[in-house]
Amino acid sequence: MTSSVYCLVSSKGLEMIQAEQSLQLQASALYLPKIMISFQHEIKSESDKQFLDLLERVFPEWKKSKIELQQLTGGITNMLLLATCASRFKKEHALIRTYGKGTDMIIDRDREFVSQLLLNNLGLAPQIFSRFGNGLVYGYLEGRSLTPEELSDPTLYPLIAQRLGQWHNIIDKDEIENALVKLKSFTNAHGASQKFSADIWQLLEAWINILPPIKELEKSCLDNKDILQDTHDTSDLQAIFRKELEWIKSQISNKSPTVTCHCDLLSGNVILRGTPTSSKLPTIENNPILFIDYEYVLPGPRAFDIANHLIEWQGFECDQSRILDISQDNPILRSWVRSYFSASADKQVDEADVSQLIDEISLFFGLPGFYWGIWAGIQSKISLIEFDYSEYCALRLQEYWTWKREYLTNL
């Protein structure tokens, strides 16, 4: 393998950061840190100009008069636009993601950027064209997002499982971490803050440290006081959840291998390119499923990433009747796990491997509710998007309490 470089090039072309990576391709992105796009829920004439000016910087060959902007839906923290420039012979596309207010408090944008560069080199993510002050301009993947109901479709879930198995198998977390350290050194030298959670456990600690008072969350803790690790004061949410996190780590932190996790495989982040033509699982090269949105990519237990995805079968409405029963005799789950292992062509999978991973998933099935409950609690105070984060926070935390009760019963 040959060494290559990823670089950030400033608007004047003077600043560059380099990081050695064992990859064959070269990734680069125009760096425009002084360009800030006003975050709005809908594009308007005044915001159109901001986006068109940005696109003119990134794609000098595009003519403003030929650019069309379309607002896309699906996320609950960002604004996403599809830009299309039509010429006589073809249409070119790019996506513009503008970050929601306050999201830098919970998302490491340097990590997101580095992760997507590496994923692009592996053929797992679209190219980044530019990083601006509060967002990215990057390539558009032809295809469509799945619906929550489709995550359990018997023709699709094996493809999703296989793709996730590939992620966990081939993405070298150390490559991302080494590049991130160098990028942090660069951004820190230019006045940016040095925020760096090395894994999901450190990220949760950081989130708990900024968790605000939330009455729905206080009620959730009071309703489950009998299983709290700290019952001294149910209104001190940070103290309560620090103790809960300590307990979780003591029980399961070493029970599943650490891999590069996507951490946000809800239906909207699963893209289907084309239509599956056979019920037989294809080779990974012919798998029509890809994952998008890399804001939460982070080292973590593989079973957390799998559990998190399986729980997303319920959708934003938290319809738990859609979630798989995590048991050894569930044929759908066993099929899902076999498909996950199929991404490793050099590994012969037997039923003992399948059973082992199901045990791991069961252990981590409460962590997604804890993770997204804390996340939603923070969002309830910082987000401008019309979404009931407080209610969502309580719903997701209840998943954790339910899992914990069952776990304690089975000890």
d(CA 177, CA 21): 11
Over residues 75-97, the pLDDT tens digits come to 556 788 999 998 877 899 999 99
Average pLDDT for residues 356-360, to the nearest whole number?
Answer: 98
pLDDT of 8 reads 46
Strand positions, DSSP E, 233-326? 258-261, 270-272, 289-291, 298-301
Sign of the dihedral through C-alpha 389, 35, 296, 404: negative
Say how far residue 406 (Cα) sits from the centre of its chain. Answer: 28
CA distance 121 to 133: 24
pLDDT for 344 equals: 85
* pLDDT for 24: 33
User: Which pLDDT value is given to residue 387?
Assistant: 85
DSSP 102-140: TGGGT--HHHHHHHHHHHHHTTSSPPEEEEETTEEEEPP
Residue 203, pLDDT > 60, answer: yes
Q: Which residues contact 174 (CB under 8 A, 6 or more apart)?
A: none
| Cβ atoms of 47 and 40 closer than 8 Å | yes
* Domains (range + CATH), the chain: 4-138 (no CATH), 144-409 (3.90.1200.10)
SS3 250: helix
Token pair for 91: 């249409």
pLDDT-based confidence at residue 29 (cuts at 50, 70, 90)? confident
- Residue 130: the pLDDT is 96
Q: What angle do CA 147, 148, 152 make, to 5 degrees?
A: 110
Q: What is the Cα–Cα distance from 131 to 109, expressed in whole angstroms?
A: 10
On whether the CB atoms of residues 274 and 317 are closer than 8 A, the answer is no
Q: Is 372 helix (H, G, I), strand (E, B) or coil?
A: helix
Lowest-pLDDT choice from 107-111, 183-187, 189-193, 272-276: 189-193
CA 170 to each of CA 133, 187, 261, 300: distance values in angstroms, whole numbers, following the listed order: 31, 28, 12, 15
* Rounded Cα–Cα distance for residues 28 and 118 (Å): 11
Give the strand pairing for 27-32 and 4-10: parallel
pLDDT value of residue 209: 96
The sign of the CA dihedral 13, 55, 4, 305 is positive
Per-residue model confidence (pLDDT) at position 40:
63
- Check whether 211 has a pLDDT greater than 60: yes
Name the percent of the chain in helix, strand, coil, to the closest 5: 45, 15, 40
The predicted pLDDT at position 253 comes to: 97
> What integer pLDDT is reported at residue 383 of this predicted model?
83
Structure tokens of 16? 């560059």
Residue 68 identity (one-letter amino acid): E
The 10 Å Cβ neighbour count of residue 64 is 12
Tokens representing residue 279 in the block: 């019920």
Scanning 171-223, the segments in alpha helix (DSSP H) are 173-189, 200-209, 215-223
Question: 51, 271, 30: which is closest to 141 by C-alpha?
Answer: 271
Cβ atoms of 116 and 193 within 8 Å: the answer is no
Asked whether residue 102 carries a pLDDT value surpassing 90, the answer given is no
The token pair at 134 is 């509060």
Separation CA 85–CA 285 (nearest Å): 30
Q: Which residues contact 363 (CB under 8 A, 6 or more apart)?
A: 251, 252, 255, 256, 303, 407
